[in-house]
């Protein structure tokens, strides 16, 4: 068991017109490091997802 607190974050929006900024800011305020935040802009209708990308 690791002794450190391990946190990751996930931010997502489903349209190109929506922004991730408010979600990314909230995750950062909760102590999630930028290199541990996964984000994506993709519709829920898409069946084949290219995978999450790191911020």
In a domain, 39, yes or no: yes
In a domain, 22, yes or no: yes
In a domain, 3, yes or no: no
Residue 35's domain comprises 9-54
Radius of gyration of the chain (CA): 13
In a domain, 2, yes or no: no
Any idea what DSSP says for residue 55? -
In a domain, 1, yes or no: no
Helix (H) or strand (E) holding 44: none
Q: Considering its fold, how many domains does the chain have in total?
A: 1
What pLDDT sits at residue 25?
A: 94
What pLDDT sits at residue 17?
A: 78
pLDDT tier, 50 (very low <50, low <70, confident <90, very high otherwise): low
Please check whether residue 24 is in contact with residue 37, taking contact to mean a CB–CB distance below 8 angstroms.
yes
Does the pTM of the predicted model rise above 0.85?
A: no
């Amino acid at each position: 068991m690791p002794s450190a607190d391990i946190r990751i974050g996930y931010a997502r929006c489903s349209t190109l017109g929506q922004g991730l900024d408010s979600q990314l800011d909230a995750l950062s305020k909760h102590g999630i490091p930028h290199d541990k935040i996964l984000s994506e802009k993709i519709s829920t209708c898409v069946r084949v997802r290219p995978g999450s990308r790191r911020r």
